[in-house]
Chains A and B, each alone.
Chain A
């Protein structure tokens, strides 16, 4: 090292400097200009270039890989949001999103976990106010896929429990169940298989959606208010006693005479779909 050479960077500084260049949304060249040390000494102070590729071009390979890897993952995780926005707007969305929510977790699965929240204040969502709920729906589908396994309550458990014990029976939603309450029927924009994407924007209507996993497949359906109220009562780690769930359902049924039949019908479906697990009795 000659007296005029800059002192060698610490490994920490080297990593931070390189990272800032790689994630810069305006490109490596502008990022270099914004680094005082690099602006003075050139990128060659930390990265070697040659006649084939300059130092900047070498860093750009990583910068492009960073962005397009995440873009591809998020396209795959949010196919409805991608279709709704189109390729260019989705590209811009992800550019902005990654600035505010860069990946922090070891698994790339978590890279898109804040997208629905981010969309609540994102300009393109002003014209498409349903976009945050659509992205939230897609995220919930992903989370349901990877959620913890659990043995659901089934009809045989019901049959083996004396009816007198049913009111005090504690249960809660299975870990893979997600309940979404919103103002748009976003689930109607996806076909039964979410890979089938329908072109129309979602209806503006209060909507409750249940998402769950059965035999490895993630399924969903819209809920009427009584069913949504019953399942919402069973949400959370504490769950609820069966009588509390029934009361929540009954409170939303216009004709009290229909309550018992409705609850029986709902319970049969919840058990068939594996939506509930038993808490310790």
Chain B
């Protein structure tokens, strides 16, 4: 996979409606923004104009929620056409979506449903990913999703599934650190083992977000600050994958923009600290 297709963008935040005016009008300090593609797949109007103004000043990544790459419905070519049209319009750094299904039989659950982790679904999903990439004319990044159930049919671990699909589809991985943390609690696995199993060369982006603790499960709610456990897992991921474009997601109970900027700054500081420790320990190793 050619890393130049996914240049390092720095530390960014999701572009959400309460911040449109501030971001489009004020050019606040932020390395880059990620949009939810479907929010801008409209004929026209203020949202698209805002996006064009933001794009004029920042790199933008298009992050979709409805590719439904694991669905057993035919690939939605009209959706892909609209996605390609939006990409032509705003020239994103890249396009990403989720390793999941969002509906079947023509219905959309508007949720990111997990896949059964089997050899068959690896082959099936990877085949559809390759087709989608061909239609879009570019490699895309695929994100590991949070989940609250596992299927009896699954015969491999989630991290094996993510790695196998990315390899078979020759696509990039958008590694959501919070989703790993949430799933590790919900399904009782070691989140650090998950990170260790993901192929280094495919990870081009990190997501960071907050979640809600319901006692018996963690919900990927994107409505809280990032917890210490997720930050620590992020540090570990940076240690393994190096510096990758990092994004703060906050979708509900959205705080002032300054809070997002502070979280992006913290991700930058932590990543730099991890990398500088790594350089120091290498240097010390060389002089021993």
Interface of A toward B, CB cutoff 8 Å: 8-9, 11-12, 14-16, 18-19, 22-23, 44-48, 50, 52-53, 55, 57-59, 61-62, 65-66, 69-70, 102-109, 111, 145-150, 175-176, 213, 216
Contact = CB atoms under 8 A, between A and B. Distances in A.
B269 interface: no
Interface stretch (B110-118, B157-165, B172-180, B259-267): B110-118
B72 A107 contact: no
B85 interface: no
7 closest A-B pairs by beta carbon, nearest first, are A106-B66, A216-B46, A149-B44, A148-B43, A58-B149, A146-B42, A148-B44
A11 B72 CA distance: 7
Given A53-B216, A149-B44, 12 more contacts: A9-B153, A11-B116, A15-B71, A15-B113, A46-B152, A48-B151, A66-B111, A102-B107, A103-B108, A107-B39, A145-B45, A148-B43
B29 interface: no
Nearest to A22: B109
B14 interface: no
Contacts of A105: 108
14 contacts: A11-B72, A11-B121, A14-B151, A15-B72, A16-B104, A19-B104, A59-B149, A104-B108, A106-B66, A147-B44, A149-B48, A176-B45, A216-B45, A216-B46
B116 to A, nearest CB: 7
Given A44-B152, A48-B152, A107-B38, A146 B43 contact: yes
Contacts of B107: 19, 23, 102-104
Given A11-B72, A58-B148, A149 B41 contact: no
B74 to A, nearest CB: 12
B152 A45 contact: yes
B105 interface: yes
Contacts of B150: 47-48
A38 B133 CA distance: 37
A16 B103 CA distance: 9
B42 A109 contact: yes
A55 B121 CA distance: 21
B101 interface: yes
A111 to B, nearest CB: 7
A147 B149 CA distance: 39
Contact of B66 (A16, A70, A107): A107
A50 B150 CA distance: 11
Interface bracket on B:
35 or more
Which of B44, B71, B152, B188 is most buried by chain A, counting CB atoms within 10 A of its CB? B152
A216 to B, nearest CB: 4
Nearest to A65: B111
Given A48-B149, A53-B217, A15 B43 contact: no
B79 interface: yes
A144 to B, nearest CB: 8
A70 B109 CA distance: 9
B185 to A, nearest CB: 9
Contacts of B110: 66, 69-70, 103, 108, 111
Contacts of A23: 107, 109
Nearest to A47: B149
Interface string B57-91: 00000000010100110001001001000000000
A70 B103 CA distance: 14
A104 B111 CA distance: 13
Nearest to B48: A149
B4 to A, nearest CB: 30
Nearest to B46: A216
Given A12-B72, A15-B71, A106-B76, A149 B45 contact: yes
Contacts of A147: 43-45
A14 to B, nearest CB: 7
B28 to A, nearest CB: 20
Interface string B117-136: 00011001000000000000
